[in-house]
Chain A
Amino acid sequence: MRPVYMLAGGITKFAKVHPDKDFRLMVKEAFDAALGDLDGRLTPADIEGSVISYFSDHFTCQLKAGAMVQDFVGLCPKPHVRIEGGGATGGLCFQSAVQAVASGRFNVCAAMGFETMSTVETWKGNDFIALASDTHFDYPLGGFYTGYYAMMAVRHMHEFGTTEEQMARVAVKNYGNAVHNPFAQHRHPATLEEVMNSAMIAYPCRRMTTCVMSDGAAAVILASEEAARKFCANPIRVAGIGSGSDAMRMADRPHARVPLLPHESESDYRDLKYPGVHSFRAGRMAAMEAYRQAGITDPRQDIQAWELHDAYASAELQQYEDIGLCKYGESGRFIEEGHPTIHGSNPVNPSGGLLACGHPVGATGLMQMVFCFWQCQQTIARHFGDPFCQIQNVRRAAGYSHAGTGTYVTISILEKP
């Protein structure tokens, strides 16, 4: 495996609906934004292949939409593949492009993703998403992902004493950050009271602790060390990628022992049955692999900025524990003490995350990596037109992309060379 560098990233503004642009034009916008950042040094002719991601053919009403993106952005007849993996589609797309460069197959590879969720009403969208649960045993019970996450959150509350207020604090933090992010769909600050009084969707997930449907696209350019030097003034190295999986039906998850991160010990979790339905084992596995590759022994010290998959505020709390920002059971206190806030010890979702930015599924994981890239480059101020979301002295930033009730998770770590 040879070193891989990220050269550029681009995002369209995520919105409830983009009726004036189809998915091809949205991706082209993101792709052009990425190339534009390289001052014309890199052209489509330099790109040797691409990976394109979108989650749902149902939303797109178009099979093989990836092929249409490939020709639209001018990359035919080069190699191309479409990647799909539920909510982690974008993260898997990023990692697939990393592998294509690391293996030596391509010197420059584009990773592009999109979703157009506005083609149907929200309740139909919920139905499409629920088709990504077991259609014999889970979907017919009420086909609703928020309901599944709600049951995980209720168990987390039972095991660890996590509260609704702690979940609301995650949302307040993320909405607050997004006020300063022009790419975000939701740019109004929210008070704890507003979040806690917003409509209940599935207890304890409320309207304002649950992400919305979005249209949007994101694109990333990855390259070998030699190509990075040629095309980019300030490339960022991909220091490690990791991923994990778990049983599709959360009813099937084991109740066993916690796989430990380097800074944890057996005695931390003597009585904890893991992962049960309160934790994401795939996230823990992804962290272990990515940390090993990047040489990370304590993520609390070694990674300065995180983009986590806060499709639900409760899921962000669960993820703090899976990635080892705090021990299992401590995420409620972790947010209460302000650690993941933008000025805290471990900033999480300085962009506003999925709650505020939106979650156009196939673009989301790539969007996270674009934000991480700008954090490492220290170019947030230039891209956002506002320095607020820039974390000072970022050496490493990491993105966490997440599917199903934790069926796939990817973690990708970027590092300033």
Chain B
Amino acid sequence: MKLPEKTEGPWVTSFDPLTRQWTYTVTYNVSYAEDSPFFHALGHNKLLGSECQKCRYRYATPRTVCMYCGGPTDWFELPLEGRVHSWTTCHFSGEPYLSECPFHLGLIEFDRVDTLFMTRLVGIEQPRIGMPVRACFRRKKTWSVNDVYFVKKE
């Protein structure tokens, strides 16, 4: 009895020291869990933030429990218009996003909300701090935070 020979081996990129390629892939079932309502809302073209029911701190990026007083938060609808708090243009990135370079990232500030929201800025030649922007939503959902992006408010 012999172990069957393999016809497809790994690529060897160097013989000494011996360096072989190893591909390891994995598919996770990742639950958005308590943040699920935020992602459901993106499906209805709405942006949800979290407001602390005890100290009234208002978060633009959701969290179930207040960072400052430990109180429970409740969902509230964020305005769909805000301003650029900071931005950058990425000419390079991690592997999954390389083909999308260059792209703009932005942090958005909203009136009467205490924290920011990170997003892609789309269709803007030169972003600047303070620029008024408005939320747009993908028609075909990806069920990720990329279902919302911001464009310049004309």
Contacts and interface: CB of A to CB of B under 8 A. Distances in A.
B116 A144 contact: no
A127 B95 contact: yes
B139 to A, nearest CB: 18
A164 to B, nearest CB: 13
A151 B91 contact: no
Interface of B: 14, 17, 19, 22, 24, 30, 32, 35, 59-61, 63, 67, 85-98, 100, 103, 105-107, 114-120, 129, 144-146
Contact of B14 (A19, A136, A144, A251): A19
B91 A141 contact: no
A95 interface: no
Given A19-B19, A123-B94, A141-B118, A202 B89 contact: yes
Contacts of A250: 107, 116, 118
Nearest to A18: B17
A202 B91 contact: yes
A40 interface: no
Contacts of A153: 88
A199 B89 CA distance: 13
A27 to B, nearest CB: 18
Interface string A230-271: 000000000000000001011111110000000000000000
10 contacts: A126-B93, A137-B118, A141-B146, A143-B97, A150-B90, A151-B88, A154-B87, A201-B92, A252-B116, A277-B85
Contacts of A150: 88, 90, 105
Given A158-B129, A203-B88, 5 more contacts: A136-B32, A143-B96, A146-B92, A151-B105, A201-B90
A142 B107 contact: no
A251 B89 contact: no
Give the 10 A-B CB pairs with smallest separation, nearest first.
A127-B94, A150-B88, A251-B116, A143-B94, A155-B86, A126-B94, A144-B93, A151-B86, A123-B95, A202-B90
B124 to A, nearest CB: 13
B144 to A, nearest CB: 5
Given A158-B129, A251-B61, A202 B88 contact: yes
